[in-house]
Chain A
Amino acid sequence: MTAAPPGRVDFGPRRKPIRLGERASAVVNTRAVLLILVSVIGCVLVTAAAMMLGDYPVPLDQVVQILSGADLGFANTVVLQWRLPRAVAAIVFGAALGISGAIFQSVTRNVLGSPDVIGFNAGAFTGAIVSIGFLGGAQATTTLLALAGGGAAAFLVYALAFRGGVSGTRFIVVGIAVSMALTAFNTLLVLRMEQRVATIAMTWGQGDLENIRWQQVGPMCVILAAVIACAAALGGRMHQLELGDDAARATGVRIEPVRLALIAVGVALTAVVTSVCGPIAFIALAAPHLARLAAGSSGTGPTGAAAVGALLLSTCDLAAQHLLTVDIPVGVVTVVVGGAYLVWLITWKLRRTRV
């Protein structure tokens, strides 16, 4: 490490200070910026592919024309009403899941502590099943009950695993245990229902973006944007919390309210996504990791996690639509990819960080 010249601070090789005049300045992590750029380009490419491919192929030049306002008849319906909402949903929901994962991993101080691993998804599914099967299944009811169910499950796991903190694999195993019990319970509930409703519930339970239309995407995007704004406002204090309670308090964070607010934001993000398209596993787990891996920053930055989450989910959804002869739920794809990722993580990554 060479001494910084007078008047300048060395922020490290990957960080560049940017100054705008005398007062405004910021330290920018160049690799994080690169990561976000690459993710955005990736999302655009995947979305373009998603617009083109399918039973009714639309060439790229037509897609561009349609998106810039031309009317090409049936192709317009296919692209604007069927394919675009799904692609937009994949990007927005992926980003929301990524942020939610970053928040949960930060609050639990545990790299595996994302909402899907600790039982949140299973709880949200329980709430949604109760709504779909027994209360008529209106979108608002489903959203609220999924929120309540997921929150209750997360709280249960936290309470069961808490022993002066929730770090370590104990938290994860308790989360897995609660998940498994809830999954079995969910299946019981589905078996109780009549065939037609049970089919809806089971399809929902696999995590599917297939039947997404603008009337679902629109309101959800507004809600998610509001919640993501809250997350952005809390982002700085989240990094302070990661220093540990004492250090965070010393740097001026009111710990309990901030932590509670963070948990509320994380729960809301996952629950909103889950209520629309069912539990989609592993995006929330993997996105923050991959963002950290690529950007090399120490904290689980919500922005990078959002970018990677969006890219992950839209890619998985593209694969779910076109990889096999039939359209499979995206949740199945993320489970397979994410399970393999988790195996790799446990085998190599955690071992190395431990030593």
Chain B
Amino acid sequence: MPVDVPTRAAVRTPRRHPPARLGGWAGRSAVLVAGLLLLVLVGAVSLLVGAGGLSAHAVIGTLRDGADGSRSAIIVWDMRVTRTLVAAIVGTALGIAGALMQAMTRNPLADPGLLGVTAGAGLAVVITSGVFGVTAFLSNVWPALLGALVVSLAVYAIGFAAGRDSPTTLVLAGVAITSALTGVTTGLALIDATRFNTLRTWMAGSVQGRDMSAIAQTSVLIAIGVVVAFLIARPLSQLALGDDLARALGVRIGATRIAGGAAILLLAGVGTAAAGPIAFIGLMVPHLARALVGPDLRWAFAYSGVAGAIVLVAADIAGRLVIWPAEAPAGLLTAIIGAPFLAVIARGAMR
């Protein structure tokens, strides 16, 4: 049976953007500031909500008093503040990584989670933790980056071999790799249940239980990735015109692509090392950003970063509430929201 594959004309990627709704620098900045305010608001809610039975008044009091070792201080400072920060940082990283990926692959379905990059990072972390008994954060970063690199190269090679016409082929390849890697991870976990038990919540994508030094390391590495993303935003926009035209405009094509790939790896790999494999944020958020600001990548990155942070913090809050008094990892919530979104985009992309 032949597979009905849409022609190149039917799947022009990225699709024609809807006209940017926010005109001018001032309008876009205003909305960005509004987004940041919303992030602060969501972050505040994240500090107030959760197990432990603290009233809003008590939380504010604890925040004012600082970390003094009391029970409420441990709940607020060591648990809620850290998880909120991790969610915001990782959300930013994944949002920008998704926007970068969609721009570089010109594939509206690209997402580090969906294409297997986070699964590769995840398997690498599980192997190092299991085989070498490593649990410290910083030592998780390097295997995560290596795993992300290997899988990205593999997915890219497969997508290249399968032809560039279909945006869904790359997703299929990513999903196939993800399921095989997840199977290996599950198999490893079953061989040595006790050792891998500690990694179980991490594997589901949770922002819980990181300490401040890990957060500091994460934010430095992710900040580097964000800076690189913004530096190559302009040449990347010009690359969208095609290689020849971009070269004529003075873009160094190879350098731009390598820098972009490195930024994706840094953002997605470190994000995964910090919070486990979280899918769909990198898919959803850039679409939202493009709908608001159009194809200008600098604005798209800024909006994607802020929106990614908002979505992941909100997903983490929802995870605390949805099966109260137990907690669901944030990665589950992003999948429940994000997967229908994928279905909708796939419907549209294949029109």
The answer to whether A and B assemble together is: yes
Question: Which residue numbers of A lie inside 8 Å of B, CB to CB?
Answer: 105-106, 109-112, 160-161, 163, 165, 167-170, 172-174, 176-181, 183-185, 187-188, 191-192, 206, 242, 281, 300, 324-326, 328-329, 332-333, 335-336, 338-340, 342-343, 346-348, 350-351, 353-354
Cβ of B336 under 8 Å from chain A: yes
The B327-351 residues at the A interface (CB cut-off 8 A) are: 328, 331-333, 335-336, 338-343, 346-347, 349-351
A178 CB contacts on chain B under 8 angstroms: 339, 343
A281 CB contacts on chain B under 8 angstroms: 179
Q: Looking at the complex, which of B1-9, B51-59, B89-97, B127-135 is the stretch in contact with chain A?
A: B1-9
Contact yes or no, B335 A183, CB < 8 A: yes
Could you tell me the distance between the alpha carbons of A206 and B161 in the complex, rounded to whole angstroms? Answer: 32
Cβ of B190 under 8 Å from chain A: yes
B237 CB contacts on chain A under 8 angstroms: none
Contact yes or no, A354 B2, CB < 8 A: yes
Contact yes or no, A354 B5, CB < 8 A: yes
Could you tell me the distance between the alpha carbons of A110 and B331 in the complex, rounded to whole angstroms? Answer: 31
- Our pick among B332, B342, B350 for the contact of A177 (Cβ within 8 Å) is B342
- Our pick among A109, A172, A173, A187 for the contact of B1 (Cβ within 8 Å) is A109
- Our pick among A167, A332, A339 for the contact of B176 (Cβ within 8 Å) is A339
Could you tell me the distance between the alpha carbons of A140 and B272 in the complex, rounded to whole angstroms? Answer: 41
Could you tell me the distance between the alpha carbons of A326 and B193 in the complex, rounded to whole angstroms? Answer: 11
Contact yes or no, A346 B1, CB < 8 A: no
Q: Looking at the complex, which of B61-69, B77-85, B165-173 is the stretch in contact with chain A?
A: B165-173
A161 CB contacts on chain B under 8 angstroms: 343, 346-347
Contact yes or no, B328 A191, CB < 8 A: yes
Nearest A-chain residue to B175, judged by Cβ:
A176
- Our pick among B162, B339, B342, B346 for the contact of A347 (Cβ within 8 Å) is B162
A177 CB contacts on chain B under 8 angstroms: 339-343, 346
Contact yes or no, B339 A168, CB < 8 A: no
B322 CB contacts on chain A under 8 angstroms: 188
Shortest distance from the beta carbon of A301 to any chain B beta carbon, whole Å: 13
B169 CB contacts on chain A under 8 angstroms: 169, 346, 350
Could you tell me the distance between the alpha carbons of A181 and B169 in the complex, rounded to whole angstroms? Answer: 20
Query: 19 A–B contact pairs at CB < 8 A?
Result: A105-B1, A112-B3, A169-B166, A170-B349, A176-B172, A179-B339, A180-B342, A188-B322, A326-B191, A332-B190, A339-B177, A339-B179, A343-B173, A343-B177, A346-B162, A346-B176, A347-B158, A351-B161, A353-B2
Could you tell me the distance between the alpha carbons of A105 and B1 in the complex, rounded to whole angstroms? Answer: 9
For the residues of A in contact with B, the DSSP-based class is helix
Q: Can you name 12 extra interface pairs (CB under 8 A) apart from A172-B168, A188-B323? A: A167-B4, A173-B171, A184-B333, A187-B328, A281-B179, A332-B187, A336-B184, A339-B177, A346-B169, A350-B162, A354-B2, A354-B3
A160 CB contacts on chain B under 8 angstroms: 343, 347
Nearest A-chain residue to B323, judged by Cβ:
A192
Pairs of residues from A and B, 10 with the lowest C-beta to C-beta distance, nearest first:
A339-B180, A335-B183, A181-B339, A184-B335, A342-B176, A170-B350, A169-B168, A177-B343, A177-B342, A167-B4
Shortest distance from the beta carbon of A242 to any chain B beta carbon, whole Å: 7
Could you tell me the distance between the alpha carbons of A172 and B172 in the complex, rounded to whole angstroms? Answer: 8
Nearest B-chain residue to A180, judged by Cβ:
B339
Contact yes or no, A336 B183, CB < 8 A: yes
Shortest distance from the beta carbon of B137 to any chain A beta carbon, whole Å: 25
Contact yes or no, A332 B1, CB < 8 A: no
Contact yes or no, B191 A169, CB < 8 A: no
Cβ of B27 under 8 Å from chain A: no
With A172-B168, A350-B162 known as contacts, the answer to whether A326 contacts B340 (CB < 8 A) is: no
- Our pick among A112, A167, A173 for the contact of B346 (Cβ within 8 Å) is A173
- Our pick among B3, B6, B176, B182 for the contact of A353 (Cβ within 8 Å) is B3
B23 CB contacts on chain A under 8 angstroms: none
